[in-house]
Amino acid sequence: MIDRSQSFFGLMLVAAMGVLGCSSEDGGPKPGPGSTAVAKPAESPPSSAEKGSKVSSETPGAASDAPEQKDIIVKSEEEWKKILTPEQFRILRQKGTERAFTGKYWNTKEPGMYRCAGCGLELFSSDAKFDSGCGWPSFDKALAEGKITEHLDLSHGMVRTEVCCARCGGHLGHLFDDGPTATGMRYCINSASIEHAKSEAKPESGGSKP
Ligand SMILES: [Zn+2]
């Protein structure tokens, strides 16, 4: 008995829903022409593509001290000759070496930043400079990871590690692992490969000494 009444009630519901369903079908999909349904998807792909390109253009902007692939400086030999002195060109672009104790920074102790003489990338801080006694400016570490690239150098019958500016590829000098400081590293750099920029905002400017 109970089953019957339930099924009867269920039938009534089904019938009612059927009626509603029919009426909604009549007033629903038919008025909305199929053409609009087709037109919408045709417009949507370009907008999604725009979103995709925006996202991809934002991701490479991640800040880093290391030069990105897009920042790498490539110049012809003639272009480098125009902006470098003959000595800078010989060392930076032809992997030359200045004579010991002849460069302008081998004995410099002034605070400041040492930039690549070719492209201006900051490479070393004066804080990392130490007196190695070898006649070339020496540093125990680079300013940050990725500033300098290392390459195996087998020239002159020696096995050495050549160090270059990561941005312009300019030859800086060599890296040895006999450094006297905690890093154990000795970046032996040609003065001609770097430019010293005195650090400003030191007590002298604010302290108003006579
Ligand atoms: Zn450089």
Q: What type of residue sits at position 48?
A: S
Instruction: Please give the average per-residue pLDDT across 111-133, as a whole number.
Output: 97
Each residue's pLDDT tens digit, 32-41: 444 444 444 4
Following DSSP, what letter does each residue of 17-63 receive, concatenated?
Answer: HHHHHHHHHHHTTTTS-HHHHHHHHHHHHHHHHHHHHHHHHHGGG--
How many residues make up the chain in this entry? 210
Q: C-alpha distances in angstroms, 128 versus 87, 132, 139?
A: 25, 12, 5
Decide: 67 and 121 in contact? Cβ < 8 Å. Answer: yes
pLDDT at 36: 42
Question: Which residues make up the environment of ion ligand 1, defined by Cβ < 5 Å?
Answer: 116, 118-119, 121, 165, 167-168, 170
Task: Give 193 Cα–ligand 1 centroid separation in angstroms.
Answer: 9
Query: Ligand 1 centre and the CA of 210: distance in Å?
Result: 39
Which pLDDT does position 47 carry in this prediction?
Answer: 42
**150-180, pLDDT tens digit by residue?**
999 999 999 999 999 999 999 999 999 999 9
Distance in Å, CA 92 to ligand 1 centroid: 9
Could you read off the pLDDT of 180-209 as tens digits, one per residue? 999 999 999 999 999 999 876 545 444 455
For residue 13, name the pLDDT band (cuts at 50, 70, 90). Answer: very low
pLDDT at 49: 41
CA distance 137 to 170: 17
- DSSP annotation of 82: H
Active-site annotation, residues? 188
Q: What is the pLDDT of residue 64?
A: 56
Instruction: Please tell me the distance between residue 200's alpha carbon and the centre of ligand 1 in angstroms.
Output: 22
Instruction: State yes or no: pLDDT of 88 exceeds 70.
Output: yes
Q: How far is the CA of 164 from the centre of ligand 1 (A)?
A: 8
Encode pLDDT of 124-153 as tens digits. Answer: 999 999 999 999 999 999 999 999 999 999
How much is the pLDDT for 199?
78
Cα–Cα distance measured from residue 205 to residue 201, given in angstroms and rounded to the nearest whole number: 6
The total of other beta-carbon atoms located within 10 Å of residue 66's CB is 13
Residue 32 CA: distances (Å) to CA of 26, 39, 42: 11, 12, 17
Q: Using CB atoms within 10 A of its CB, is residue 49 exposed (0-12), middle (13-18) or buried (19+)?
A: exposed
Distance of CA 9 from the midpoint of ligand 1 (Å): 85
Checking if the pLDDT of 101 tops 50, the result is: yes
